[in-house]
Amino acid sequence: MVKIEGKSVFGGIAIGPIEVLKKKDNKVVRRHIGDAEEEVRRYEKASEETVRQLQVLYEKAQAEVGESDAMIFHVHQLMLADLDFVDSITNMIRTQNVNAEYAVAMTSDNFATLFESMDNDYMKARAADIKDVSDRMISVLSGQGQSSVQRNASVILAADDLAPSETVQLDKSKILAFVTRHGSANSHTAILARTMNIPAVIGLDFPEDCDGKMAVLDGFSGCLYIEPEPDFLEKMQARCQEEANKRKLLQELRGKDNITGSGKKVKVYANVGNVSDVMTALQNDAGGIGLFRSEFLYLEKDHYPTEEEQFHIYKTVAETMAGKQVIIRTLDIGADKQIDYFNIEKEENPAMGYRAIRICLDREDIFKTQLRALFRASAYGNIAIMYPMIISVEEVRRIKEISAEVREELRQAGVSFGDVEEGIMIETPAAAVISDLLAEEVDFFSIGTNDLSQYTLAIDRQNTKLDNFFDPHHPAILRLLQLVADNAHKAGIWVGICGELGADLSLTETFINMGMDELSVSPPMVLPLREKIRQIP
């Protein structure tokens, strides 16, 4: 068995033979032509035919994957009409007396190089679009096809790269998954693959002689296993069946309310740790993001992330969720999440030390930078902000003062922002006990049962020696949850759970009876939780 690693752009398990997509070799040869104007007319005619083909692809993609993802083919048509692009080609034909194929190829290479040199990943990915549309025009000029479409049923399609036009022309009923040596997670091909629900891995250097060999693609880990051993194959077949059952459940539940037999409706959201998890939340039909852990932005860098860096991420998440609520927790480091450049002194008991909101209130410059980015991003979607590790009303009032200062600064600068709900996490016994007072200050509560449990039971959840003593169903914890829910509703605000306990299906009915309005769980638990809610009388 050969294992090859790449980068996942869409999860899933696929088992079947590999088929390597053979592209036509549209080798372009420079030729001297006698009549430049006649060659320009030949180029213009080919351009018209290319636009016609792209319109056909646009209509096909629109029917299969929707308007937004089909727009790439409209963009390709606009590229062909771009004056700089057209002028470069026609000028080369006229001044150098070269054939149209060569002029298109050279212009394509020049434009692609410009895009690839840009710092922005999205713009870099547009280089592939330039090559795609140019290859199509060269094919029209030369009278050749672009690539040979797969010949077998049920294959893992492998290619150097897949252009959007190639992807949309594939017969999806015959594709189990695809792998490519090149491409990017920001490419339109990756976007189409996600929309078409096809497991996909990029950056995977498969061998040329793998054509026809049996393989397993793990789209979650980004690994391709060629000629798997019997035991491994059996294990992956079981996982594949689990995924099939999950997809069936998703189709049954998609678009339906999370409502009990007695009519109680509950929001089911997802907890995510980074941007890539957001797509997984959508795949599992989450109603929103109940906990977006913003600290990953800080943990992945060797410097304080700038306002622009944070704004870009928050904006992307908000736009991707397309109006669904995204609750972003402000910086929560300290305890088991240490960052060197914060220069936090070593503590004897970091779980109860300098962490989370305490750092933010102590270092207001860091806090304000994050808040500015969050409020700016709120203009692009339904963002809410959640503050962690609260223990007092005074903390909340100071947070509200800082938040008001940031919003006023943005107004003075003429920067727009949305109507942002601001809530707090209830994860300390202190916050739970005074939740009646805190409820008067905020828009919502989200209960972090992980920390609330360890602080209430005086048990370090990182200490495996104490596992036998840890009881997440302890009456003290459940009583605190009921107290928080009651106080929230008395004040007219909503309350949810974003800790691990929210995914405990043995407690789902208990939480609903407590009056919990929202449960936020890891993306894989969204569907089982939705199913459980609908089974409750």
The pLDDT tens digits of the residues spanning 430-470 come to 999 999 999 999 999 999 998 999 999 998 866 777 878 88
User: Is the model more confident about 371 or about 70?
Assistant: 371
- 341 has a pLDDT exceeding 60: yes
Q: Which of 170-179, 268-277, 301-310, 372-381 has the lowest mean pLDDT?
A: 170-179
When the pLDDT of each residue in the chain is averaged and rounded to a whole number, the result is 86
- 521 has a pLDDT exceeding 50: yes
Residue 215, helix vs strand vs coil: strand
Catalytic residue among 74, 76, 188, 474: 188
Phi-psi region of 70 (alpha: psi -120 to 50; beta: other; left: phi over 0): alpha
pLDDT of residue 46: 92
pLDDT of residue 101: 92
**Packing angle, helices 67-81 and 83-96, rounded to 10:** 40
Q: At 327, is the pLDDT very low, low, confident or very high (cuts 50, 70, 90)?
A: very high
Q: Could you tell me if 307 and 372 are in contact, meaning their C-beta atoms sit under 8 angstroms apart? A: yes
pLDDT of residue 38: 95
- 168 has a pLDDT exceeding 80: no
pLDDT of residue 172: 66
Percent of the chain with pLDDT over 70: 88
State whether the Cα torsion 499-500-506-508 is positive or negative: positive
pLDDT of residue 188: 53
- 150 has a pLDDT exceeding 50: no
Q: Which residue has the tokens 């600068």?
A: 413
- 153 has a pLDDT exceeding 90: no
The pTM score is: 0.61
pLDDT of residue 185: 62
User: Is the model more confident about 537 or about 301?
Assistant: 537
Backbone angles phi, psi at 99, to 5 degrees: -70, 155
pLDDT of residue 193: 61
pLDDT of residue 252: 79
Phi-psi region of 51 (alpha: psi -120 to 50; beta: other; left: phi over 0): alpha
- Give me the domains of the chain, ranges plus CATH numbers: 2-23+148-232 (3.50.30.10), 36-142 (1.10.274.10), 258-535 (3.20.20.60)
Percent of the chain with pLDDT over 90: 50
pLDDT of residue 277: 78
- 149 has a pLDDT exceeding 50: no
Which residue, among 1, 22, 5, has the nearest Cα to 206 in the 3D structure? 5
* Separation in Å, CA 91 to CA 43, 88, 97, 136, 293: 12, 5, 9, 20, 53
C-alpha 161 chain-centroid distance: 21
Secondary structure in 3-state letters for 166-201: HHHHCCHHHEEEEEECCCCCCCHHHHHHHHCCCCEE
Residue 498 annotated among the catalytic residues of the structure: yes
Which residue, among 495, 497, 453, 504, has the nearest Cα to 474 in the 3D structure? 453
Rounded to whole angstroms, the Cα distance separating 148 from 167 reads 12
pLDDT of residue 345: 75
Catalytic residue among 76, 210, 360, 498: 498
Rounded to whole angstroms, the Cα distance separating 56 from 389 reads 55
- Stated as kind and residue range, the H or E segment containing 455 is helix 449-457
Q: Which of 40-54, 209-223, 269-283, 517-531 has the lowest mean pLDDT?
A: 269-283
